[in-house]
Amino acid sequence: MCLAEQPPSFEDDVMGAIAERLGSRESIDGYELDALTVGRRITYDVQANWKLIIENFMECYHCATIHPELTEVLPEFADGYAAQFFVGHGAEFGADVQGFTVDGGEGFDKLPGVDEDHDRRYYAITVRPTVFVNLVPDHVIFHRMFPVSESRTIVECDWLYTREVVESGKDVSRSVELFHRVNEQDFEACERTQPAMSSRAYAHGGVLVPSEHHIGEFHHWLTQRLAD
């Protein structure tokens, strides 16, 4: 929800971010987000600035060291692959992985509209400023951030499933547990990074390497808006 008198355009900001990441606006249609419902909601109170949470979400060289369960399911993340660098690329499930669950065991039926190209793949999208969308074949994980202070952010994370899965009372716990652990691991890393954010060495956003060009774009986007 945006309280601005002239809210930004949904088409430009939300669908634009999706097209920028997935290669086309239509790529998200198959997940039929409007037909999904909340199977689990977990709220995290993170002692870190919201921008750190965004930067963490946009890179993956930390994945090999702090996300053991996620890198089992998505082996390419163990190589430090920058998750949101390549347009249209979704990280592929490991060969013996059955589903996007905490132990790689079976998940639920693939969402009806998800095609072969998107099956067995994970896509992460950052919708600036404060939303993350994570797409996997059988559910969608949706983060919203609520900045409270310069060093505290409330993150509300929803796991979205088909109505059939939720209403039939199927056990979503192994499915939820994977990204819940990823969230806890990421937010702890952000909290450990937060104290150094007031260093003068970080005053201009620190040093970025070429594979972080998309994080550089986020810095640019933010400083432009602050200037406006």
Q: Give the binding site for Fe ion (CB under 5 A).
A: 186
**Start-end of H helices in 10-79:** 10, 16-22, 50-58, 63-66, 68-73
Report the distance separating Cα 83 and Cα 77, nearest Å.
7
What minimum distance in Å lies between the beta carbon of 163 and Fe ion?
30
Nearer to Fe ion, 55 or 186 (CB): 186
Report the distance separating Cα 186 and Cα 67, nearest Å.
8
Report the distance separating Cα 159 and Cα 36, nearest Å.
9
What minimum distance in Å lies between the beta carbon of 182 and Fe ion?
6
Give the residue at shortest CB distance from Fe ion. 186
User: Strand order in 131-136's β-sheet?
Assistant: 36-46, 152-162, 139-149, 131-136, 121-127, 91-92
Element at 185 (helix H, strand E) = helix 173-193
What minimum distance in Å lies between the beta carbon of 184 and Fe ion?
10
Residues whose CB falls within 8 Å of the CB of residue 5, separated by 6 or more in sequence, listed in order? none
What minimum distance in Å lies between the beta carbon of 62 and Fe ion?
6
Nearer to Fe ion, 48 or 165 (CB): 48
What minimum distance in Å lies between the beta carbon of 46 and Fe ion?
13
Nearer to Fe ion, 186 or 212 (CB): 186
Residues in the chain: 228
Nearer to Fe ion, 165 or 182 (CB): 182
Nearer to Fe ion, 67 or 139 (CB): 67
For residue 59, which of 82, 93, 31 has the smallest C-alpha distance? 82
